[in-house]
């Protein structure tokens, strides 16, 4: 499948995890790939790919949908129009790597986070983890699955996408029965810093998905594919 991308890490052996990164408006996959380089040493068996938006934006940037004239009323429509392509790209890399959704993480910033979060509504279970830096839902979900663990990480002083959107997302996912955490990075604007990265790394390594607890309470046990989930 042809699309703009940058491979941050490709293990010599078959990949055991898949980490896909999605940048913000006007950025590019090479730049976002620098964020991916923080994950590579801790996940040496992961295929890590930074994916570019489908539309050009500015001299060297990309975007998933235009923000010109975007409103609360038309944002969802713009996302819905491009979402099938987003989902196809995720599934392309899952097929390319041989990694299932159970060991796939979507890592987004700003518009990349919007697309990642919205994918949980359009294709539940597309990935087992979402690291959502400084983003939001277009419209809050009314249903959710514990198949995907959502980690919201947001700057306390974000003036582009207000922290209130992350708080509302957490509340909506909890209300809908989803699996979600929220970390607020004090005095940080619309950006990713070393504190944000540390929150993300800690969640991928140490946070146990809620569905494991659900399975334990029901008397079930993880399947073979679950063993390679990002823990």
Q: Which of 50, 110, 116, 196 is catalytic?
A: 110
Say whether 158 is catalytic: yes
Instruction: Return the closest-CA partner of residue 61 out of 29, 18, 94, 109.
Output: 29
DSSP per position, the chain: ----EEEEE--SSPPSEEEEEE--TTB-HHHHHHHHHHHGGG-TTEEEEEE--SEEETTTEEESS--TT--TTTHHHHHHHHHHHHHHHHHHHHHHHT--GGGEEEEEETHHHHHHHHHHHHSTTS-SEEEEES---SS--S---TTSEEEEEEETT-SSS-HHHHHHHHHHHHHTT-EEEEEEETT--SS--HHHHHHHHHHHHHPPPHHHHHHHHTT----GGGGGS--
Alpha-carbon gap, residue 169 to 188, rounded angstroms: 19
Q: Which of 158, 165, 179, 203 is catalytic?
A: 158
37 Cβ contact partners less than 8 Å away, ≥ 6 residues apart: 8
Q: Which of 31, 92, 157, 190 is catalytic?
A: 190
Give the catalytic positions in this structure.
Answer: 110, 158, 190
């Amino acid at each position: 499948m042809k699309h703009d991308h940058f491979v941050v890490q490709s293990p010599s052996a078959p990949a055991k995890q898949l980490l896909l990164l999605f940048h913000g408006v006007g950025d590019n996959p090479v730049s976002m790939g620098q964020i991916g380089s923080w994950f590579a040493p801790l996940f040496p068996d992961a295929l890590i790919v930074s994916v570019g938006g489908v539309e050009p934006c500015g001299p060297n940037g990309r975007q998933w949908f235009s923000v010109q004239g975007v409103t609360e009323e038309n944002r969802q429509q713009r996302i819905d129009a491009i979402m099938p392509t987003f989902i196809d790209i995720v599934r392309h890399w899952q097929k390319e790597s041989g990694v299932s959704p159970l060991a796939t993480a979507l890592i987004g910033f700003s518009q990349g986070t919007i697309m990642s979060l919205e994918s949980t509504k359009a294709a539940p279970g597309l990935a087992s983890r979402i690291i959502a830096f400084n983003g939001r839902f277009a419209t809050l979900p009314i249903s959710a699955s514990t198949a995907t663990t959502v980690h919201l990480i947001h700057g306390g002083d974000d003036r582009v996408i207000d922290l209130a959107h992350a708080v509302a997302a957490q509340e909506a996912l909890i209300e809908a029965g989803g699996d979600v955490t929220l970390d607020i990075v004090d005095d940080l604007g619309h950006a990713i810093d070393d504190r944000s990265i540390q929150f993300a790394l800690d969640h991928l390594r140490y946070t146990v998905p809620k569905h494991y607890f659900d399975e334990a309470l029901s008397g079930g046990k993880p399947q073979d594919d679950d063993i390679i989930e990002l823990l």
